[in-house]
Amino acid sequence: MSDQFKGQVMLITGAAQGIGERVAELAAAQGARLALVDRSPLVHDLRQRLSATAEVMSIEADLEQFEGAEKAATQTYQAFGCIDILVNNVGGTIWTKPFEHYGPAEIEAEVRRSLFPTLWCCRAVLPFMLKKKKGSIVNVSSIATRSVNRVPYGAAKGGVNALTACLAFENGERGIRVNAVSPGGTEAPPRRVPRNTARLGRKDKAWYQEIVDQTVSSTLMKRYGTLDEQAEAILFLASDRASYITGTVLPVGGGDQG
């Protein structure tokens, strides 16, 4: 495996499991110095596992609040002296149901989970990148901006796409590239920290199955992707191999453009 990130400092949010965990594993193998951020203490287990081969720190933080993002960015900068790459991976559907069944508090919770961590982390990290006049931000969006039974989540990820475009416009001439990857359905181990701890009823299971069916039918390949297929796309956009790419939202959904 190459050492394309050798010496570069990469801050990865939502790193404790799923896509974020796989990004961290691959980046560590390619020489990155890592700051792993998650609200779950599981992030420390990942740090311990990767520290045998890479320089790694782990931070527990609630990124739905700016204070958490500021803490993560500041501690990373203090430890490493710079932040070269930010991968914003926090987000995920909490509930799955037709929009008329969402309560106001649930709608707000979905937006807080899947838009604000990316918004806050971009704001917290950007000043450190501007000091160096160079940096790469990769936001993890979703093809669920066109999907069923998760309107608030889709709206939040649509906000991530707009954030990506606007930040790229503002910072292209200042040396900061900003892109996004929009994953489709992805095969992953069961979440160790579920997004929703409530017991699913019959209707909930049926609504969730509608998402699965729509995801598979919308992809030209008629299958879910793998963690590696998502992580490799993220790392490509993060790397200098994508040095002339900014403001791009890359769908990684087997042909589903989102």
Which one-letter amino acid corresponds to residue 100? E
User: Do residues 86 and 134 make contact, with C-beta atoms less than 8 angstroms apart?
Assistant: no
What tokens appear for 152 in the block? 């608030």
Instruction: State yes or no: is 153 an active-site residue.
Output: yes
153, 208, 224, 244: the active-site residue = 153
191 three-state secondary structure:
coil
Q: Can you tell me whether residue 32 is helix, strand or coil?
A: coil
Give me the count of residues in the chain: 258
Of 90, 82, 166, nearest to 121 by C-alpha is 90
At position 149, the amino acid (one-letter code) is N
- 4 CB-side CA count, 13 A: 15
Name the residue with tokens 């974020």. 20
Please report where in the chains the tokens 């990942």 appear, as a residue: 46
Q: Give the full edge-to-edge strand order of the sheet including 135-140.
A: 56-60, 33-38, 9-13, 85-88, 135-140, 176-183, 249-252
Which amino acid is present at 176?
Answer: I
Question: Do 54 and 33 form a contact (C-beta atoms < 8 A)?
Answer: yes
- Smallest CA-to-CA distance from 42 within 52, 50, 33 is with 50
Q: Which residues are annotated as catalytic? A: 153
